[in-house]
Amino acid sequence: MKKVLLTSAIALALIACGGSDSEKKTETTTPPTSMVETPKTDTAAAALSPELQKGVDLIAKSDCLTCHKVSEKLIGPAYQDVANKYENTPATVKMLAEKVKKGGKGVWGEVAMTPHDTLSLENAEEMVKYVLSLKK
């Protein structure tokens, strides 16, 4: 599990750094299936505001992608499902950020979300703002 997370984090860092067109043309490897959705997030993030981009970057550096994907359920709900369930208001952002920090279970099933108590409330809020921006 740690290898998958580490590989995902390294791949995200490489994707975020970009590269020249010639580097992209010569690349012939296919990313692992577990990482296919992450580049879409980074591509879409290119048009995001700096505040939302910060949320994307924080998620990429965290363990969130171990349990969540953007558009499909993994262990936890898809980010888009979370966005569709909650209204994007300052009160909701704060409530969900606190939930990220404290962990919990019951809203999306019986599998508990582990607490992320080392994450600052401000960073958790940036991450939640990005997730809520995915509402369809």
Amino acid at 99: K
pTM: 0.66
Summarised one tens digit per residue, pLDDT across range 29-74 is 433 433 334 334 444 545 789 989 999 999 999 999 999 999 999 9
Distance CA 119, CA 101 (A): 7
Residue bearing tokens 């505001």: 49
Q: What is the pLDDT of residue 21?
A: 44
Given a cut of 80, is residue 28 above it in pLDDT?
Answer: no
Task: Report phi then psi at 19, rounded to 5.
Answer: 160, 175
CA distance 109 to 45: 29
Is 88 within 8 Å of 97 (Cβ atoms)?
no
Average pLDDT, the chain: 78
Is the domain covering 2-132 a CATH 1.10.760.10 domain?
yes
* Of 31 and 12, the one with more pLDDT: 12
